[in-house]
Amino acid sequence: MHELKAATEARLRELAASNQRRHRLPSLVVAVSKGGQLVDSVALGHADLNGPIPAGTDVQYRIGSITKTLTAVAVMQLVSDGRLQLSDTLGSLWPDAPHGQLTVGALMRHSAGLQREPIGHIWETLEAPSYEELAATAEEARKLFPPDTWWHYSNLGFALLGGLVAHLSGASWESQVKQRILLPLQMARTTLTPEPPAAQGYSVLPYSDQVTPEVPIDIRGLAPAGQLWSTAEDLARWVSFLLRGHPDVLSVEMLELMRLPKNMLDLQQWTAGYGTGLMLLRGRTGIAVGHTGGIQGFLAAAFGSVASGTEVVILTNTTSGPLVTGMAVEILDLIAEDLADRSIWIPAEAPPADVEPILGSWWSEWSEWTFRWRDGELQSSPVSSPAGTGPERYRRLSSDLFVTVEGPERGEELQVIRDADGSVVKLYRSTYLFTRLPESASPDSQR
């Protein structure tokens, strides 16, 4: 059971209360969790002022563009199924698709150069096109830049990805998300339309403390970019999945690929980037992955820390207000130490007999390395590594051949060389020579 220290709980409440007052939020829900299990939450104000309905972790709020992360996972499921590759063009998979020359990967990374919104002025008229209308007019949308030149956010691009999911699966985007994502993850309170208790969206007037209800909009063909409603409890499970994977949804290896940085949003400070369907934020304690959401009457954020394994969800029912990205990073930094792994070390079984001779000190290019057996696997790291630097981890391919699965040399091989009596005499890591004593690798030194 994870618990926050009293001082951290107090600071979390102070942060929530100050943001609710300063930004005049009708309601605010902040939930922190680890492994998808809520550790603490703060619920302030009213989700609906008529009733009234108090804010809470099981009250639905509209989550806007956090929906894109579910669409991205639905696409990656098709990749995992062998139905497509990210390098495939839209047209090669979906005949007569608009902008068929654009690749799936570029659309997922918002680097296809496609304009932000569909043709028309839907955010003024509040009348969104159907799937068929959107597909019929999408070819008229401008391409602002050559693909993979600049990052440019595109709701239209994710609407097209939703159409691709529907085309390849033979079912609607909605049914694919429900059957292959929401049901296995037990996210029963994540739906296309609001189900009670649900928040009413508001706008707070700029020159008085009055609020005006926002008109709900069904964004129809744009649904894969921002239609969903959810709760803090469901989103905590979702972010935990983005960090850890689920055997019935998507593997952690595929999610690691989604988390790899592909574009930098903040070109000056490098504090925010984008992977494949996921936003990346850099905080004091590490990188957070997830997404923000904003749609008339609602703001949301759901992020998890890769380093600490903690999650934060922020939901509020206002059109404009706090910078939820900054708030999410601040909270993750706050709770990272408190929710760090406090499990005690216990002795483990001995490594395999043929691995034991590999362990210990090795030298390469006058630098010392340590090879060790930890958590049931072979690991290595330079002796000079800064504190907190993770080791390189290896998976065994055959008796004397390993592959690096984590670290700078991911994918490279580690080869173990033995003499006639089976003693380990040297290693080749990424083809570089490792010896038990410091020595030069030049041929002249070995004569």
> 28 or 345: whose pLDDT is higher?
28
Note the pLDDT of residue 55. Answer: 98
* 239 DSSP 8-state letter: H
- Tally of residues, the chain: 447
What integer pLDDT is reported at residue 447 of this predicted model? 38
pTM across the whole model: 0.90
Name the band, by pLDDT with cuts 50, 70 and 90, for residue 221: very high
Q: Are 239 and 302 in contact (CB under 8 A)?
A: yes
- Tens of pLDDT, residues 354-376: 999 999 999 999 999 999 999 99
Alpha helices in 245-337 (DSSP H): 252-259, 324-336
Burial of residue 83 (number of CB atoms within 10 Å: 0-12, 13-18, 19+): middle
Higher pLDDT, 50 or 388: 50
Flag whether pLDDT at 432 surpasses 70.
Answer: yes
Mean pLDDT across the stretch 238-259? Answer: 97
Domains of the chain with bracketed CATH: 6-336 (3.40.710.10), 356-446 (2.40.128.50)
Residue 51 pLDDT level (bands cut at 50, 70, 90): confident
How sure is the predictor about 292, in pLDDT bands with cuts at 50, 70 and 90?
very high
Identify the pLDDT of residue 443: 53
- Quote the CA–CA distance of 225 and 159 in Å, as a whole number: 6
Residue 358 · residue 424 · CB < 8 Å: yes
- pLDDT of 155 strictly over 90: yes
Res 275 pLDDT > 80: yes
Residue bearing the bigger pLDDT, 199 or 131: 199
The pLDDT score that the predictor gives to residue 439 is: 84
Residue 238 to residues 231, 256, 291, 303, 405, Cα–Cα distance (Å): 10, 15, 11, 9, 25
* 339 pLDDT more than 70: yes
Would you place residue 442 in the very low, low, confident or very high pLDDT band (cuts 50, 70, 90)?
low
Q: Is the pLDDT of residue 444 over 60?
A: no
Q: Please state, for a pLDDT cut of 70, what percent of the chain lies above it.
A: 98
> What is 94-162 written as a DSSP string?
STT-TTTTSBHHHHHTT-S-B-SS-SS-HHHH--PPPHHHHHHHGGGS-B-S-TTSS----HHHHHHHH
Tell which residue, 346, 377, 345, has the closest CA to residue 359: 377
145 close to 95: Cβ distance less than 8 angstroms? no
Interval 76-107: pLDDT, tens: 999 999 999 999 999 999 998 999 999 999 99
pLDDT at site 387: 78
The overall average pLDDT reported for the chain is 94
Span 276-289, pLDDT tens digits: 999 999 999 899 99
| Confidence check: pLDDT of 446 > 60 | no
Distance CA(290)–CA(271), nearest Å, equals: 14
Residues forming a β-bridge with 273: 264, 280
Question: What's the CA angle centered on 372, arms 367 and 373, to 5 degrees?
Answer: 160
Arithmetic mean of pLDDT, 381-397? 91
Which residues, in sequence order, are bridge partners of residue 46?
A: 54
pLDDT at 1: 56
Please identify which residue in the block is written with the tokens 């649900």: 198
Q: What is the mean pLDDT of residues 406-410?
A: 92
